């Protein structure tokens, strides 16, 4: 029987998959629109004037929105030389401590983003660009990203109590550490 937390985590995972699919679609659009824009320019049929700034915004959004999924997949860079030298039970405790630290840091950055976003909204700040998207939207993406990463760190802490989760994760990630 699934508990409420299991259903919340499943919904969270589906939401992350949706977000990463949107990021992948945006990257696919770059691959089509950049050559198309070059074709338009070379044939002197005009250009997509907003494309480079749209790509800039999309990359910003994609990196921040993709970060929780990357964390969930353990696809981020990890250097766990120290953890690999520890006995397994201590490595698991260190992993829990680092996940708790991750929750705190992500919530701190999320609150910073929310506060800065509210100030930007109140000031009506706009960037000095041709494609003008209010600064508070970008700060909302920043805040959402860190909130989602805090949730993923909490789910990691929750999963650490389940069999074959953290212990295998710590041991397997220790053997494949990146420098």
Q: Are 92 and 172 in contact (CB under 8 A)?
A: no
Structural domain span for residue 86: 4-175
How many domains are contained in the chain? 1
Q: For each of the chain's 179 residues, which pLDDT tens digit applies? A: 678 989 999 999 999 999 999 999 999 999 999 999 999 999 999 999 999 999 999 999 999 999 999 999 988 777 777 778 888 888 889 889 999 999 999 999 999 999 999 999 999 999 988 888 999 999 999 999 999 999 999 999 998 867 654 444 444 444 443 33
Q: How far apart are CA 88 and CA 170, in angstroms?
A: 8
Handedness of CA 163, 169, 170, 176 (dihedral sign): positive
């Amino acid at each position: 029987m699934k508990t409420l937390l299991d259903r919340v985590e499943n919904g969270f995972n589906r939401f992350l998959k949706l977000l990463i699919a949107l990021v992948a679609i945006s990257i696919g659009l770059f691959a089509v629109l950049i050559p198309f824009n070059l074709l338009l320019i070379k044939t002197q049929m005009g250009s997509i004037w907003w494309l480079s700034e749209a790509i800039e915004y999309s990359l910003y959004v994609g990196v921040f929105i993709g970060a929780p999924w990357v964390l969930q997949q353990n696809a981020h860079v990890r250097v766990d030389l120290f953890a690999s030298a520890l006995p397994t039970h201590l490595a698991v405790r260190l992993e829990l401590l680092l996940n708790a630290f991750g929750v705190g840091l992500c919530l701190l950055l999320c609150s910073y983003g929310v506060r800065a976003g509210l100030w930007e909204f109140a000031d009506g700040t706009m960037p000095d660009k041709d494609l003008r998207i209010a600064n508070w939207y970008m700060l909302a993406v920043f805040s959402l990203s860190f909130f989602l990463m805090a949730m993923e760190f909490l789910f990691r802490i929750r999963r650490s109590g389940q069999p074959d989760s953290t212990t295998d994760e710590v041991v397997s990630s220790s053997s494949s550490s990146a420098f």
